[in-house]
Amino acid sequence: MTETQVIFRVDDRMLRSLDRFLKISGFRTRNEWFRSKVREFLEDMERGKALKAVKKLTVKGVTEEEILRMVKDWRKREH
């Protein structure tokens, strides 16, 4: 896996608050927290795309639960 460094700037007060809340939230490092947030964001975007596609479907005799199960099965095969 190739990694890329991401650098961003925040003021000292915000950084101290972030560090304090990271420890409370159970994250050991800023990097761990950042990766978690990026992963959550990407998962939300994928979920949104899938739901948008599901809303466009009008298949008679297929329930929304069945469609969601199909999407989840597809995701498992893709990863």
Q: Are 34 and 6 in contact (CB under 8 A)?
A: yes
- 12 C-beta neighbours (distance < 10 Å), count: 7
| CA atoms within 13 A of residue 76's CA, in its CB half-sphere | 6
Would you kindly state where each structural domain of the chain is located, as residue ranges? 12-78
Both tokens of 33, joined, read: 């927290």
pLDDT, one tens digit for every residue, the chain (79 residues): 898 998 989 999 999 999 999 989 999 999 999 999 999 999 999 988 888 877 777 666 778 788 888 889 888 887 6
